Amino acid sequence: MQTNTPTNSAEQLESLYGSETFGVKTMKKYLSKDAFRKMMTTIEKGGRLDPTIADEVAQAMMVWAISKGATHYTHWFQPLSEATAEKHDSFVEPDGKGGMICEFTGKSLIQGEPDASSFPSGGIRATFEARGYTAWDPTSPAFIKRTANTATLCIPTAFCSYTGEALDKKTPLLRSMAAVARQATRVLNCFGIEPSVVESNLGAEQEYFLIDRDLYLQRPDLIETGRTLFGCLPPKHQQMEDHYFGSIKERVLEFMAAVDRELWALGVPAKTRHNEVAPGQFELAPLFEPSNVAVDHNVMIMDILERQALKFNLVCLLHEKPYAGVNGSGKHNNWSLSTPELGSLLSPGKTPHSNLLFLTFLASVIRAIDLHADLLRASISKAGNDHRLGAQEAPPAIISIFLGDQLMDIIEQIKHGGAKSSAGKTMMELGVDTLPVLPKDATDRNRTSPFAFTGNKFEFRAVGSSQTCAWPMSILNTIVAETLDEVATKLEPYAGTPEFRAKAMELVTEMVVKHDRVLFNGNGYSEEWVAEAERRGLPHIRTTLEALEVLSRPDTIALFQKYGVLTEAELLARKEIQVESYVKLIDIEAKTCLNMLETIYKPAIAEQMTEICGTVAAIQSAGIRAGLRAATDKAERVGALYDEMLDRTAELASAIEKGCTQAELDCMAAARVTVDTLETIVDADLWPVPTYAEMLNIHSK
C-alpha cells in the first residue's frame, strides 16, 4: 500500500501499519512455520537465532522486498558519528550464462563487511586497518527506505571492527539491555518470580523546529551548524504562551500527517503530535518499545522529519538550540523495566507503600542515579545541549530525581521507621454538571526535573533533541544493572526464607537513607536549587568537556567492563570521539561566524554607512539644518558598531588561528552582541539575512 493513499476504514489504517517492514505480520506470511517460530523466539526471548534458518529468512526477505519495489539491500547501522550509515548492494548476481538472477543468502543477511576505516573509531583502528563487520540485529525489524523512484531494504545491524571492538552505538545498548535484564531477573527471582524476560523500555518524545526552506537557505549559520549564530529576539516570541498546544497551522499539519503515515507504514508507533512552547517548535511522540527498537525508530523519525519537511518547502531543525532566547529542543527518554507478566516493574500499584517489589526497584534506581549522576550527565553532553542545560527552559545540568508528592511521602515514612500508608487517587469535581468527575493522579508533574518519575516510568528529560538515545540508555541500563546486582547479591541468601521481606525492607530503607540527597521535588530552574544542590554535594557540571571527564575514570572503566557493556578501549574511544567532535564543531561554528561577519554583515553595514553618509551630505549641500542631527547620529552609532565589528572579527580570527575552543566560544558570543545591536538600528531593507521574526513564524504557502 502506498503510504500516502488516503485510508477511510480502520482496516485500511491497520493494514498500513508495518506494511513497509519485515515484521511479525510479514514474517508470518513469508516464512515456514518452523522458521517463523524460531524468529519469534529470538525476538521475544532473546538468544541467538538458529543459523540453519538464515537462508530461508534471507530468501523470504528478498522476495518480500522485491515485491515492494526494492532492488538493493543495505546493512543499516549507527556508527560513532551522529549519523546512520548504509552501503547498498543489489540483489543481482550473474547466473553464469550471461544473464542474472536475484539472490540473497543467509550469510549476506547475517554479516556484512563495510570498509571501517573512515568511520570514527577514537583510535581503536588505524586508517590502514580497514576491515569492519556488521551483524544483523534480528530483534529490530528490517524495513524499506523509499524515495520517489527507489526502494532499499534496510537491515538493522551492529557494527564492529576486525578485532571485535564495537564501533557503533547499538552494540553497547544491546549489551546494557542484557546486563540490566540479567540483574533484574536475579532480583525478581529473590521475590519468587520467574519472568519469561525482562525488557528495558524506551518511549522517546522528539522535539524539533520547522523553518521555511527559502529562509533557511539564506542563513549560512543554520546550514553549516544547525543553529543561528546571530539574530535578536523579536518583540513577540514565546511570552504569550500561545504556541504550546496551539491550533496547528495547516501547512504544518499536512507535514505532520505525511510524517505519521510514513512512520506507521514503517511500524513506528507514532502517537502524539503538537505545537511546542517556542513559535516554530513542535513535538512527535511514539509509544514506547524495547529500547533497541525504540532507538532505531527514533533515528528513523529524525530522518523522516528531515526528509518530509523538504516536500513542504520546510526544513526540520533538530539542533538543541537553533534560536537564542526561545526554548531549545530536547528528547524526553521515558524509561522503564518490565516483564510481559508484570508490566512495568516501576508501577507503584494502588498501595505503593506495601509494594515491596516496587520499592526495591524504585530505591535501586534512586541509588544508581545518585551514585552515577555524573555519568548520566556525560551521556547527554554535546555542544548543542550546553546551550540548553541550565537555562530557564530545560532541566539543569544538575542531575536530580523528581518523585512527586505521593512517593516522597512514602520515602519520608520509610526513613522514619516504616511506610504505613499511601495517599491515593482523589476525584476532581469541576463544578459543571455536564462535565465528568475526573480521577486526579496521585502525583503532579514537574517539567524542571531532569529525571522525573511519571506514574510507572522515569522520564530522563535532559537528553538533547539531535542525539540518539542509544548512549544515554546504555548508561542508564548499566548503572541500574550495577545496583540491582548488589541488591540481588544481598537478598539471594534470604530468598524463600521467613526473614526475606524484613531483609528486603531493610535494604530499601538503607538505600533511601543513603541516597535521598538526589531527590528534589521543587523548581529545578531556581537559583536556590543550585545553591541547595551544592550544599548536598551533588555534581553541577556545566559544560561538555568537563562532563566527559568521568568517562576515563578508573571506576567508570571498571563498571562498564564488569557488566560487559564496553571494554576499556571501547569506552576511551567514545570519550575521544566526543571530545574531538565537540572541538571540531565549535571550530566550524567559529569559522562560519567569521565568514558571515566578513562576507555578509560587513558589506551590509558598509552599504548602510554609504547611504546615511549620502543623506548627511545631501542635507548639508541643500543648506538645511533639520534632519542633520538625526542622520549624523545614526551614522555615528552605526559607524561605532562597524568599528567594533572590526575588532570582534580580528579577535575571532585570532582565536580560530590559535585553535582555542573556549576563546572561539567567547569571541562568537561577543561578535553576536555587536551584530545583534546593529540589527536593531540598521534599515530593515538593508538587513542581509532573515530575522528571527521571519524564521520563527511559519506561514502558509
Q: How far is the CB of 447 from ligand ADP (least distance, A)?
A: 9
Q: 470-479 burial, b for 16+ CB within 10 Å, e for fewer? A: bbbbbbbbbb
Count of residues that bind Mg ion according to CB under 5 A: 1
Q: For residue 358, give the nearest of 456, 291, 214 by alpha carbon.
A: 456
Residue type, 621: S
* Residue 611-650 contact track with ligand ADP, rule CB under 6 A, x = bound: ----------------------------------------
122 near ligand ADP, rule: CB under 6 A:
no
578 near ligand ADP, rule: CB under 6 A:
no
Q: For residue 482, give the nearest of 376, 588, 372, 604 by alpha carbon.
A: 372
The conformation of residue 277, written as its DSSP 8-state character, comes to: S
> What's the CA gap between 452 and 474, in Å, rounded?
18
Q: How far is the CB of 679 from ligand ADP (least distance, A)?
A: 37
Give whichever of 75 and 332 is closer to Mg ion, judged by the CB atom.
332
* Binding range to ligand ADP, per CB under 6 A, among 211-219, 280-288, 393-401, 465-473: 280-288
- Residue 469 near residue 545 (C-beta atoms within 8 A): no
Residue 400 partner contact from Mg ion, ligand ADP, none using kind-dependent CB cut-offs of 5 to 8 Å: none
Residue 336 partner contact from Mg ion, ligand ADP, none using kind-dependent CB cut-offs of 5 to 8 Å: ligand ADP
- Residue 296 near residue 140 (C-beta atoms within 8 A): yes
Give whichever of 228 and 336 is closer to ligand ADP, judged by the CB atom.
336
Q: How far is the CB of 456 from ligand ADP (least distance, A)?
A: 5
Residue 287 partner contact from ligand ADP, Mg ion, none using kind-dependent CB cut-offs of 5 to 8 Å: ligand ADP
* Binding range to ligand ADP, per CB under 6 A, among 118-126, 301-309, 334-342, 528-536: 334-342
Give whichever of 300 and 675 is closer to ligand ADP, judged by the CB atom.
300
Among 329, 344, 443, 477, binds ligand ADP (CB under 6 A): 344
Among 40, 135, 232, 287, binds ligand ADP (CB under 6 A): 287
Contacts of 77 (CB under 8 A, 6+ apart): 84, 85, 86, 134, 156, 157, 158, 159, 168, 170
C-alpha cell at 122: 577514537
293 near ligand ADP, rule: CB under 6 A:
no
161 near ligand ADP, rule: CB under 6 A:
no
The conformation of residue 232, written as its DSSP 8-state character, comes to: P
Stated as kind and residue range, the H or E segment containing 135 is: strand 132-136
> What's the CA gap between 151 and 174, in Å, rounded?
28
C-alpha cell at 163: 578485532
Q: How far is the CB of 287 from Mg ion (least distance, A)?
A: 12
> What's the CA gap between 101 and 91, in Å, rounded?
8
Residue 237 partner contact from Mg ion, ligand ADP, none using kind-dependent CB cut-offs of 5 to 8 Å: none
> What's the CA gap between 159 and 504, in Å, rounded?
41
* Residue 192-221 contact track with ligand ADP, rule CB under 6 A, x = bound: ---------x-x-x----------------
Give me the helix-helix angle, 628-658 and 602-621, nearest 10°: 160
Give whichever of 205 and 482 is closer to ligand ADP, judged by the CB atom.
205
C-alpha cell at 309: 519537511
- Apex 174 CA angle, 181 and 29, nearest 5: 95
Q: How far is the CB of 248 from ligand ADP (least distance, A)?
A: 17
* Binding range to Mg ion, per CB under 5 A, among 330-338, 462-470, 481-489, 594-602: 330-338
Within 461-490, the residues that bind ligand ADP by CB under 6 A are none
336 near ligand ADP, rule: CB under 6 A:
yes
Q: For residue 193, give the nearest of 439, 568, 488 by alpha carbon.
A: 488
- Sign of the alpha-carbon torsion through 565, 568, 570, 574: positive
136 near ligand ADP, rule: CB under 6 A:
no
Phi, psi (deg, nearest 5) at residue 397: -75, 10
Give whichever of 139 and 344 is closer to ligand ADP, judged by the CB atom.
344
Binding positions for Mg ion, rule: CB under 5 A: 332
Binding positions for ligand ADP, rule: CB under 6 A: 201, 203, 205, 285-288, 334-336, 344, 454, 456-457
